[in-house]
Amino acid sequence: MKKILLEISYLGTDFCGYQVQPDKRTVQSQLNCAAKALFGFDCDIVGCSRTDSGVHANQFFATVAQKGMEYINTDIPIEKIPLALSFHLSSDVAVKSAAWVDSDFHPRYNVQSKEYLYRIYCDSVRDPFEEGRAWHYARKIDDTAFGNMQKAAEHFIGTHDFSAFMASNSSVCDTVRTIFSLSVEKDDRIISIKVRGDGFLYNMVRIIVGTLIAVAEGKISPDEIEDIIASKNRARAGITAPPQGLYLNKVIY
């Protein structure tokens, strides 16, 4: 028995996140409607992650099975499914590829690592083409501040208890995660932060970004990061950066 694995991308600006919510526009609800229109029956669509309102995905995976079952029966050739599904989707969601996977494959539990991208637009004047696609940080970050951000980023790499970088209302008990890499790059007025790990706590990436900005502002020194992690105290880390600069960038199985 097989189900379908979809690779999709979406612009999250006008979505209230991925997961279905009553009377709200979500990515999952769009996929549910498109799958029913294409296959002629209700489907269970399970995503690899739960992105928040306004968060984007350059790469996102979801499985499709007939509702209440672990498989799907369809005569539609697998190579035609991306275009056929995309026909029933709005312009801010696209199906990039489709493949058959075993019925016991789980798009979230089978993930080895994920990479998130966060984009910051640094300028006093906003750019309408970056609206909703980057955090408009209305200051310039000079070379010294940027260098401090890079130094601070190194301290996040490794296996740590990231309680200090988790939303205070989260109920997760296991707060240990491994960060494999964290890079901070600058191209003109755009700062790009990429972080790859085996998993992330609620708002963890956005709090890391907010903390790196606090480093740039001189409120936190790069060498303080280790102490903040060890403290497990959310109040010692930076603000939670806005959602619109965040992208689920890669999912590795």
Active site residues: 52
Cα–Cα distance list, 244 to 1, 51, 86, 142 (Å): 39, 11, 24, 23
Residues 245 and 116: beta-carbon distance below 8 Å = no
Q: Is 129 helix (H, G, I), strand (E, B) or coil?
A: helix
Looking from the CA of 227 toward its CB, the CA atoms found within 13 Å total: 7
Angle in degrees, 0-180, between the axes of helices 204-216 and 143-154, rounded to the nearest 10: 140
| CA–CA dist 200, 31 (Å, integer) | 24
Q: What is the DSSP string of 84-110?
A: HHHHTS-TTEEEEEEEEEETT--TTTT
The per-type count for the chain, helices as H runs and strands as E runs, is 5, 10
